[in-house]
Amino acid sequence: MSVRVVARIRPLLDGEHDKDIIVHADSTEAGKPNTIVKIPSPKNGAEEFSFAFNSVYDQSTSQEALYTAEVQPLLKSLFQGLDVTLFAYGVTGTGKTHTMRGGLKLADRGVIPRLLSGVFRRGKKIAKDTDGGTSVVVALSYYEIYNDKVFDLLEPPEQRTPMGLPLRAEAGGRTVVCGLTERRCDDLRDFETLYIEANSNRVTAATRLNAHSSRSHAVLRVKVTQTRGDDGSVRESTVSAIDLAGSEDNRRTDNGKERLVESAAINKSLFVLSQCIDAIARGDRRVPYRESKMTRILSLGQNKGITVMILNLAPLRSYHLDTLSSLNVSSRAKRI
């Protein structure tokens, strides 16, 4: 299992001002790529904290550049049979959904549609190179984890049971979601139709709660099955792309009962996730993945595979404390 933690600082939006920028990307040596995030101490503005990452992407990084650097290189491993997990982690409003899903314009498309496009292209190439001897089938599931319950996003919201879908431990330590829909997709257009519909299910189910989507984890799971015609051998691997719940401390801003339940569930699962990533990064044998549903389902640390965590950051002073806490939590980020 290998893990990378990278940070991405979003640009200013309309109505935000240069003078409020407090977060900067930096490199260890002039001319080297950025690997450090700098932020002032909230107590003493003259003191500065630095956090180190595998890579740091600044305001000017395009969707294409991020995909090309961090995600495209994983396609090869995926087709070699390794599982890939991609997380977007950060405070609400820092660009997680922009990074994962992105906008509708081609240049704005996020990691997920680009990844699917890459998977289909590679699948077609393998089929062609083997003269159709190897078939490649792509199937999707898409669900959200809200208050530690799993809801299928490929089913209409009316069919949700309030209890959510149960989990089942399989032999070998894997955990599966029982009754999750899996839909085959043959090309990017198939995928986009399904993805748009599923995202609207997420929104529809949210009318009861404000900002529901920032309080749930959305998990897209793409299963790639390669079957060889000659000996019938099958190779199966998955890539999971996750838009995590906002990492802000909801308790600070809202003390309604429902929010408290949500906050406890969100904070616990994000905390366990960071501990798992830490343990994997250190090469520990014991990874505490059993301690939340999200980490159980992803079997984090159980499989051979590659994990990339993208820490999304807003550069502004108004996010100061939450930014510091997400920098602290995001595992490998070391104070130096």
**Interacting residues toward Mg ion by CB under 5 A:** 96-97
Query: What's the CA angle centered on 167, arms 208 and 139, to 5 degrees?
Result: 85
Q: Taking Cα atoms as reference points, which of 281, 257, 285, 274 lies closest to residue 311?
A: 274
Closer by beta carbon to Mg ion, 109 or else 332? 109
Segment lying near ligand ADP (by CB under 6 A), choices 91-99, 175-183, 256-264, 291-299 = 91-99
DSSP structure class, residue 245: P
Please, which residue, 82 or 273, has the CB nearer to ligand ADP? 273
Residue 13, interface with ligand ADP (CB under 6 A)?
A: yes
Helix (H) or strand (E) run with residue 190 in it:
helix 188-204
What are the Cα distances from residue 219, in Å, to 29, 54, 86, 87, 94?
A: 37, 24, 10, 9, 18
Query: Nearest approach, Cβ of 92 to ligand ADP (angstroms)?
Result: 4
Cα 172 from Cα 168, distance rounded (Å): 12
Between 105 and 257, CB nearer to ligand ADP: 105
Find which of ligand ADP, Mg ion, none residue 11 binds, CB within 5 to 8 Å per kind: ligand ADP
**Which is nearer to ligand ADP, 120 or 195 (by Cβ)?**
195
How near is the Cβ of 14 to ligand ADP at its closest, in Å?
Answer: 9
Phi and psi at residue 13, to the nearest 5°: -105, 175
The single residue among 4, 24, 98, 202 that binds ligand ADP, judged by CB under 6 A, is 98
The DSSP result for 133-150, as a single string, is SEEEEEEEEEEEEETTEE
Tell me the residue type at 206: A
Using CB under 6 A as the binding rule, the residues of this chain from 212 to 241 that contact ligand ADP are 214
Nearest CB to ligand ADP, comparing residues 242 and 298:
242
Pairing of strands 175-177, 134-146: unpaired
Give the footprint of ligand ADP on this chain (CB under 6 A). Answer: 10-11, 13, 90, 92-98, 214, 312
